[in-house]
Chain A
Amino acid sequence: MINFGLNKLSKQQARTGLIFMMPWFIGFLIFGLYPMVMSVYYSLCRYDVLRIPQFIGFGNYEKLILEDPYFWTSISNTLVYTALRVPLCIIGSLLLAVLVNNAVRGVKFFRTVFFIPSIVTGVVLSVVWLWMFNPQFGLLNSFLAYMGISGPLWLLDPNWSKPSMVLMSVWSIGGGRMLVFLAALQGIPKHLYEAVDIDGGGWWAKFRNVTVPMISPVLFLWSVLEIIFSLQVFVEAYVMTQGGPLNSTMFYNLYLYNKAFNDFEMGYASALAWILMIISLIITIIQFRLSKNWVHYDGGAK
């Protein structure tokens, strides 16, 4: 009797469970799986949505790898941007988290202040910094001029445009990422630090041998996520530079957008999207491989 009842109950639960997850499943089929399949097909076509697709095999891939200089420019721009931005943002947020982890009075107030810039994202962030970067009247060069330094042209100089955009994202290091790091820091047992004290180690030894290993899973997770985000950078370049000067901020995603929705070359843009997918995948796999050397999942247990 009891067995039968449980069985019936679990059968019913299985049915309800399937019904409840349906919204996601349907969404996944329509907006995930089907588009992925179609995207492969489009990437093998000439297609502008207004007319019928023309199948051309691997023509798009051949063209973008062999003959399209912008493809390579946009890849290298995106990689340089990612390589500058990710370490700076992760280290910046970590240092800030260490700083606000000090139990001094009023630290919560500072934490709030640090968080505020991260609320400003996307278009507003870009518009505001476009003005900050103005070489003649912007805040940065006014400040530098006050210090007696003649500032760079920032976004107008091909050598400075990417670093400028990285600098802009440093403004947001006090946001969610810092909070996560802070929570991780607060989860480190005190006795581990005391052990270093007994061994006579200073703050660097503590940071190097206790803090970093203990929060390495969080650091790892965020570096994976940040790299994926950075590879997809779009709005900043769209609003501030449209890819200029001299294509120095022609990021991968901006190029893809232009191909898809300015030139309506949807087939070509689909091929671009797949290459981006493959690049992201390769980088993530490499990160997982490397993570074995520095990420400690067993830390807290002992």
Chain B
Amino acid sequence: MINPKAKTAVKNTLIYLTLTTFALFFVIPFLWILSTSLKGNEQIFVIPPQWIPSTFMWDNYAKVFERIPFLLYVKNSVFISLIVITGTVLSSSIVAYSFACLNWPGRNALFVVVLASMMLPMQVTMIPVFVIFKEIGWLNSFKPLTLPAFLGGGAFNIFLLRQFFLSIPRDLLDSARIDGCSEFRIYWNIVLPNAKPALATVSILTFMFTWNDFLGPLIYLSDQAKGTIALGLGMFVGQYVTEWSLLMAASMLMMLPMLIIFFVFQKYFIQGFIMSGLKD
């Protein structure tokens, strides 16, 4: 018989080996992007590739700002994201409160509609919605990208917050009601403060989605000055196909806020996904 201690040691070594292999697979591309973003053209097209550029071309990052109005795009993206987050958090939480904490006729039936609407592919509604925005003269503005967030904030977020609100003790709400609190006060002063982690999760997921959204801006924004960062990067590919160092520098810049947010709010990321993956 093999001694169990040795068996554990072998097992652990194997585990670490696998973990490390995967870690390399996941991390090396980042190093490669970083390395490319700091190279000059003559260093990029070298076989075999150099990992550490012979001279660091920090210039590439400056060039990104020259070639496309990068700052303006960042500004637009931040602006859109902030409004969408505000709208989503406010409206999805109040709707979720209604579905989770209030009794009204037809509630369960409508909640099924909420869930079902998640399955509706946006392609089906995309064209008529485009026509609606055309009719009210909102094309080529940020309105189609931002204002709908105030109308429900997305079925998925309603679902996620409802699940969380259900876990808030009923007694807390009922005693407030007996004290004569209005439902809005209960929602605003009791439920929202208790749901901070869930709201943070919704905000972060919303930010990630909005920051990366490509199709929305692609359809609605035609003015160059109204571009978002995702759109800008997408168009950059078309125009400067082989200026890889600039493309990688632009990609690094676009990834940066997401990476920072990830490292700061790790906890909420993990929570958000676990909550959304609930068994039912």
Residues in chain A within 8 A of chain B (CB atoms) = 9-10, 13-18, 20-21, 23-28, 30-32, 34-36, 38-39, 42, 49, 96, 99-100, 102, 104, 107, 110, 112-117, 119-124, 126-128, 130-132, 134, 136-137, 139, 142, 145-146, 171, 174-177, 179-180, 183-184, 217-218, 221-222, 228, 231-232, 234-235, 238-239, 253, 256-257, 260-261, 266, 269-270, 272-274, 276-277, 280, 284, 297
Among B98, B130, B218, residue most surrounded by chain A Cβ atoms (within 10 Å):
B98
Tell me the residues in window 218-271 of chain B with beta carbons closer than 8 Å to chain A beta carbons: 218-219, 230, 233-234, 236-237, 244, 247-248, 250-251, 254-255, 258-259, 262, 266, 269-270
Asked if B137 is at the interface (CB within 8 A of a chain A CB), the reply is: no
**Residues from chain A with Cβ under 8 Å of B150 in the complex:** 23
**Pick the contact of A24 from B114, B127, B131 — CB < 8 Å?**
B114
New A-B contacts (14) at CB < 8 Å, excluding given A14-B105, A239-B237: A23-B151, A23-B153, A36-B128, A49-B130, A119-B259, A120-B258, A123-B212, A123-B254, A124-B251, A176-B276, A176-B277, A180-B274, A231-B121, A266-B131
Shortest Cβ distance from B250 into A: residue: A127
B124 and A116 contacting across the interface, CB-CB below 8 Å: no
With A28-B113, A39-B128, A183-B274 in contact, is A21–B99 under 8 Å at CB?
A: yes
**Residues from chain A with Cβ under 8 Å of B233 in the complex:** 123-124, 127
Tell me the residues in window 6-61 of chain B with beta carbons closer than 8 Å to chain A beta carbons: 12, 15-16, 18-19, 22-23, 25-30, 32-33, 36, 44-49
With A18-B104, A110-B19, A222-B277 in contact, is A36–B125 under 8 Å at CB?
A: yes
With A18-B104, A24-B151 in contact, is A174–B26 under 8 Å at CB?
A: yes
**Pick the contact of B121 from A235, A261, A273 — CB < 8 Å?**
A273
**Residues from chain A with Cβ under 8 Å of B110 in the complex:** 21, 25
**Residues from chain A with Cβ under 8 Å of B117 in the complex:** 28, 32
**Pick the contact of A132 from B23, B29, B97, B272 — CB < 8 Å?**
B29
**Complex Cα distance A26/B153, Å?**
12
**B32 nearest CB across to chain A (Å):** 5
**Pick the contact of A180 from B27, B266, B273 — CB < 8 Å?**
B273
**Complex Cα distance A261/B18, Å?**
46
B151 and A31 contacting across the interface, CB-CB below 8 Å: yes
**Residues from chain A with Cβ under 8 Å of B28 in the complex:** 139
15 contacts between A and B (CB under 8 A): A16-B98, A17-B98, A20-B98, A21-B98, A35-B124, A36-B128, A38-B131, A49-B131, A104-B19, A110-B22, A115-B262, A120-B255, A124-B251, A137-B44, A273-B123
With A42-B128, A176-B273 in contact, is A280–B121 under 8 Å at CB?
A: yes
**Complex Cα distance A73/B12, Å?**
48
Interface size on B, residues (CB 8 A): 95
Asked if B214 is at the interface (CB within 8 A of a chain A CB), the reply is: yes
**Complex Cα distance A222/B279, Å?**
10
Residues in chain B within 8 A of chain A (CB atoms) = 12, 15-16, 18-19, 22-23, 25-30, 32-33, 36, 44-49, 91-92, 94-95, 97-99, 102-105, 107, 110, 113-114, 117, 119-132, 134, 148, 150-153, 158, 177, 183-184, 187, 208, 212-215, 218-219, 230, 233-234, 236-237, 244, 247-248, 250-251, 254-255, 258-259, 262, 266, 269-270, 272-274, 276-277, 279-280
**Complex Cα distance A104/B19, Å?**
11
With A13-B104, A27-B151 in contact, is A277–B124 under 8 Å at CB?
A: yes
**Residues from chain B with Cβ under 8 Å of A128 in the complex:** 29, 33, 248, 251
**B59 nearest CB across to chain A (Å):** 19
A221 and B277 contacting across the interface, CB-CB below 8 Å: yes
**Residues from chain B with Cβ under 8 Å of A34 in the complex:** 128, 132
**Residues from chain A with Cβ under 8 Å of B151 in the complex:** 23-24, 26-27, 30-31
With A39-B124, A120-B258 in contact, is A139–B29 under 8 Å at CB?
A: yes
With A124-B254, A183-B274 in contact, is A137–B49 under 8 Å at CB?
A: yes
**Residues from chain B with Cβ under 8 Å of A235 in the complex:** 214-215, 234
**B144 nearest CB across to chain A (Å):** 10
**Residues from chain A with Cβ under 8 Å of B126 in the complex:** 260, 273
**Complex Cα distance A26/B255, Å?**
35
**Complex Cα distance A260/B187, Å?**
43
Shortest Cβ distance from B253 into A: residue: A124
With A131-B36, A222-B277 in contact, is A273–B248 under 8 Å at CB?
A: no
A184 and B277 contacting across the interface, CB-CB below 8 Å: yes
Shortest Cβ distance from B48 into A: residue: A142
B120 and A32 contacting across the interface, CB-CB below 8 Å: yes
**A269 nearest CB across to chain B (Å):** 6
B128 and A35 contacting across the interface, CB-CB below 8 Å: yes
B48 and A179 contacting across the interface, CB-CB below 8 Å: no
